[in-house]
Structure 1
Amino acid sequence: MAGALVIPGVQVAVVKQVLPQQLSPSGVLGLIGFTEINPGKTVRVSNFGRLIELLGRSTALSLPEARQALDNGISELVISPLGSATGARASLTFPKKDATPQAAGFSLLARAPGPWANGISASVKYRQNLDNSTSFDLTLARQDGTTEVLRNLNTDKQDSAQYIVKALADSSIARVDTDKPIGWPQESTQVFVEGKDATPTDYAAALARLKDESDVDMVLAAVQDFSNPATVARIYGDVISHCNNLSDECKGRIGFGQVPAGSTTAASVQLASNLVSDRFVLVAPNGVVGAVAGVVGNLSYFDSPTFKRVSGLGVLDNAITVEDQRALLTGRVVPIVTERAKGTVVLRGLTTDGDQINVRRVADHAVRGMKMIGDLFIGLLNNADGRNALKQKLTEFLVQMQKEGAIVPSTDGTDPAFKVEVYSSQADFALGIVRVNMAIRPVRAIDYIYATITVQV
């Protein structure tokens, strides 16, 4: 404040009102998996074109959860790529065509590490052209029936090695292994093998990079190899630990995972029993978890994903029967099913401890709001006016949550939607501590309706 006036006049002091910043939008998904291009840091994308531009075309194949989440309206993806030295790329080798020097054959490597390319077949077919030159077509066929064809690779080129490398650069699945001999291949069909997933330690290292992304409120580890249930449980366990640790820093998050492909109902329920948490969602069947995360992220933080449509999945090959649906829900696994007149929907949105997903998200939103407002008062005076101002700002925030419909009074109307108490004892005062007691009642979705119909005479 300026010094006291000497000459008669007026001095005006301007005091800026404490104004909380707007919270970051909910629905920011932290995604861990293999990418074609590894920048060694987290990458933010909000559309599929940007994803391909920054991380490469084959990322759409090695990390299908990204496309699923974007198709279902996720606010933003924060991708933490697994290390380029982790896992192993799938590969195959074409034998040489004949005994000539140019007929050395060649080897192909998947553009991104991981077992996603295992089982993809590559076929070479020679043909004679009208100008009497010889060329071959290379066809890459995925297990889902989609193919990628590179046509008219001419064998009469002088520098065959350089020509083959350049021609196959257009493939979004594989590239030529330049560390091995390159020449004209034998007409045959080969299959990609030996692609390997990252270890739990590698996933944990990529997960750690998300700690500095404060606006992330959902986390998904895109596991590819489900052959060892113990390894899968360990990776998902690390996701739960990450979410719990970040919640202690007022950065609450919910983790997502999926059951193994071909998993029985009993095995899926057993996996869920090893991952019980109010911060983890286990989805069935395999291959839909990215879409579910996208649906949850597209909803308001207080809305339930129950019976919400999931897009971009096509026909579910491994449809879940009604009996299995009951068993999965009892075991706290979230089934994705196709319902007549509804389409493909999330049957019920719940965490592995049995609570509704939106209840946890409402609580996390309240915690983030409390942290944001509390930070504004750090360093201000601990007096009655300061504590009252803190209480008023918290009340404003909670009133807004109530107006949005995120928190509600008790069903009989006797208990309010929230309660706030701000105080400081004499011992707290000496230590610079102000304590806040806050209670909220998150809104819950209608999951069941019990009706009684009386047939009158």
Structure 2
Amino acid sequence: MAARIIPGVQVTVVKDVAPPQLAPSGVLGLVGLTEKTFEFTERASSWSRFLEVCGPASAYSMPEARLALANGVFELVIVPLASSVATKAVVSLPNADNDNFTLEARAPGIWANGFKLKVSHRGEKFDLEIKLPDGDTLEVHRNLEPAIVADFLEKASAVVRVDKTTIPPKRPKEGEYLLAGGQDASDTDYINALEALKDEPDVDMVLAAVQYFNDAEKVTKVYSAVISHCELMSADSKGRIGFGQVAPNATIQDATRMLTPLISDRFILLAPHGVVGAVAGRIGGLDFFQSPTFKTLSGISKLSRAIPLEEQGGLLKENVVPIVNQLGRGVIILRGLTTDGDQISVRRVADRAVRGVRMLGELFIGRLNDEDGRGALKQKLNEFLVQMEREGALVSSTDGKDPAFKVDVFSSQADFALGIVRVDVAVRPVRAIDFIYATIFVQL
């Protein structure tokens, strides 16, 4: 600063370090088969946006998306699978000349296997009714004719489309036909797709939407890769939690076998099958320090399997999270646990603290390693952790003697020579009430 010669006042403005806001929690990285494929990830925070970017058939090939959005997830980061293994379910509809219409599912995977297509004649035209495997009607298309059926179904059906290379001039015969032949992607396809989430720093939850569960080894490999991905990103201060679910009709023994290689503080295994999207969405919709225990799930009219009371306790002992229909509450998460037995909310609070400390630390890279610089860093860290305490994420010890957090910022002479500042932080995440033990004294 140049010294003044003429008497007067010179003012120097020093800009304070203004930390940016952390990205919102509840961003779900979703990997799976979609109708539309795209080179990079796409984001969706509403159902209409999801259908726009992924295609209408993705509602069936990736049902986890609808449940996640219905339960309040902040945003989906969608990674479509590029797979040479996955195939679409198809069906051939013969006509009077034994020429075939070929209809195919709009998205690859096993999801459409068993869908029923009923053809009935109406004058010179025909109707096409599409039913779920259980017989419920999904779509009805009337007054079709061969010349227009391909273009009509392309616009009107979310389930099937016509292979335009197979459109004979006559309508198909009456009858009921089954879609078949759809195959899921390989475990390698799912594992490779997880790589795309490494470039999405705000993702804090990960779900691989596996379709085929009859191959337990494949599912375990995919879920193990999800755990590895979460641990790798957490080592880079981008903490994540993975989600998985048991196979359809899995018993407690099946769940235990599946769990053994999946024990981690960064993975949640759920039962019964079909609830994982709803649970991921519900957790994503909560404040990061709130427990999902006893929270109600939306969008599930009926569980794929009702878990008996005795089995609920057995699953919890194995750290598998049961989803149950409880009288007066609806469908709820019985207890929010990771597969190593800790509360989910504790891990999320710790991850939030890590992200905040890293964000603040990066603001001071390149600044002077002097007492003022270290003091400013400590002040910003204290401000951040005080805010977490005010939100209710951090708490003092139950006796009030130990504070909610401790921060120390220092640099030894050897560290100083190397440009190193060390930060020690201790935090005490809030924990949820999972059990209440009451004693009632009956007096005379």
TM range (shorter): over 0.9
Deviation at 1:54, TM superposition (A): 1.7
- Separation of aligned partners in 2, 1:191 and 1:41: 34
Q: Where does residue 98 of structure 1 map in the other structure?
A: 96
Deviations 1:249-308 (A, max 9, x none): 110000001110111111012211220000000111101110001110111000000000
Tell me the residue number matched to 2:201. 214
Deviation at 1:315, TM superposition (A): 2.1
Give the deviation of 1:86 after TM superposition.
4.6
**1:329, distance to aligned residue in structure 2 (A):** 0.4
Residue of structure 1 equivalent to 2:103: 108
C-alpha separation between the residues in 1 aligned to 2:3 and 2:174? 95
The 3-state SS of whatever aligns with 1:274 is: helix
Partner of 2:117: 122
**RMSD of aligned residue pairs (Cα, Å):** 1.4
Match of 1:275 in 2: 262
SS in 1 for 2:262: coil
Q: In the aligned structure 2, how far is the partner of 1:182 from the partner of 1:333?
A: 53
> Residue 4 of structure 1: CA displacement?
4.3
**Contact map agreement 1:40 1:83 (CA 8 A) in 2:** no
* Deviation at residue 84 of structure 1 after TM alignment: 5.6
Q: Could you tell me which residue of structure 1 aligns to residue 373 of structure 2?
A: 386
1:234-273 alignment, distance < 5 Å: 234-273=221-260
- Which residue number corresponds to residue 131 of structure 1? none
1:164 aligned partner, one-letter code: V
Cα distance in 2, alignment partners of residues 407 and 443 from structure 1: 5
1:174 and 2:172 matched: no
The secondary structure found in structure 1 opposite 2:119 is strand
Q: Is the 8 A contact 1:38 1:84 kept in 2?
A: no
Q: How does 1:36-435 map to 2 (within 5 A)?
A: 36-83=35-82, 85-95=84-94, 97-99=95-97, 104-128=99-123, 134-144=124-134, 145-154=136-145, 160=146, 162-169=147-154, 170-180=156-166, 182-183=168-169, 184-435=171-422
Q: Say which is worse superposed, 268-277 or 357-366, in terms of deviation.
A: 268-277
Q: 2:191, 2:165 → 1: CA distance?
A: 31
For residues 333-362 of structure 1, what are the alpha-carbon distances to aligned partners after superposition, in whole Å with 9 as ceiling and x for unaligned? 111101111111100000000000000000
**CA shift digits 1:140-164 (9 cap, x unpaired):** 111252321111113xxxxx4x422
Whole-Å separation in 2 of the counterparts to 1:202 and 1:329: 32
In structure 2, give the amino acid aligned to 1:135.
K
Letter in 1 for 2:120: K
Asked whether the 8 Å contact 1:105–1:186 carries over to 2, the reply is no
Do the aligned residues in 1 keep the contact of 2:411 with 2:420 (CA within 8 Å)? yes
1:449 is displaced (CA, Å) by 0.8
User: CA offsets per residue over residues 361-399 of structure 1, 9 Å max, x none?
Assistant: 000000000011000000001111111111111111111
Amino acid paired to 1:257: G
CA distance in 1, matches of 2:440, 2:233: 49
Asked if the contact 1:223–1:232 (Cα under 8 Å) also holds between the matched residues in 2, the reply is yes
Once residues 415 and 98 of structure 1 are traced to their aligned partners in structure 2, the CA distance between those partners, rounded to angstroms, is 84
Report how far residue 8 of structure 1 moved.
4.7
SS in 1 for 2:409: strand
- Counterparts of 1:365 and 1:440 in 2: how far apart (Å)? 11
For residue 199 of structure 1, report the CA deviation from its aligned partner.
Answer: 1.0
TM-score normalised by structure 2 residue count: 0.97
The superposition leaves residues 192-217 of structure 1 with CA deviations (integer Å, 9 ceiling, x where unpaired) of 11111111111122111111111111
Give a deviation string over 1:167-186, Cα, whole Å, max 9, x none: 22221101111244544322
Secondary structure of the structure 2 residue equivalent to 1:106:
strand
Question: What secondary structure, in the 3-state scheme, does the structure 2 residue paired with 1:325 have?
Answer: helix
Question: 2: CA distance between counterparts of 1:441 and 1:243?
Answer: 22
Instruction: Specify the code of the residue in structure 1 equivalent to 2:430.
Output: V
> Which deviations, in whole Å up to 9, do the C-alpha atoms of 1:93-149 show, x marking residues without a partner?
112x223xxx62211111011111111111211132xxxxx1111111112523211
For the 8 Å contact 1:80–1:206, the answer to whether it is kept is: yes
Q: Percent identity?
A: 56
Does structure 1 conserve the Cα–Cα contact (< 8 Å) formed by 2:243 and 2:269?
Answer: yes
Contact 2:323 2:332 in 1 (8 A): yes
> Structure 2: how far apart are the matches of 1:426 and 1:146?
75
Work out the CA distance in 2 between the residues paired with 1:105 and 1:312: 39
CA distance in 1, matches of 2:168, 2:67: 37
Indicate conservation of the 8 Å contact 2:83/2:185, yes or no.
no
Q: How much has 1:30 moved relative to structure 2? A: 0.7
Give the TM-score, by structure 1 length: 0.94
Partner amino acid, structure 2, of 1:63: M
Given residue 98 of structure 1, which amino acid in structure 2 is its aligned partner? A
**Quick check: 2:114–2:179 contact (8 Å CA) kept in 1?**
yes
Shift of 1:316: 1.9
User: How many angstroms apart in 1 are the aligned matches of 2:271 and 2:168?
Assistant: 44
Deviations 1:32-90 (A, max 9, x none): 11111112211111110111122111111111110001111111111111116451111
**Residue-pair matches, total:** 441
Counterpart of 1:114 in structure 2: which amino acid? G
Aligned to 2:15: 16
The one-letter code of the counterpart of 2:285 is N
Q: Is the 8 A contact 1:107 1:182 kept in 2?
A: no
Alignment partners' CA distance in 2, 1:198 and 1:116:
12
CA distance in 2, matches of 1:265, 1:180: 47
Partners of 1:281 and 1:351 within 8 A in 2:
yes
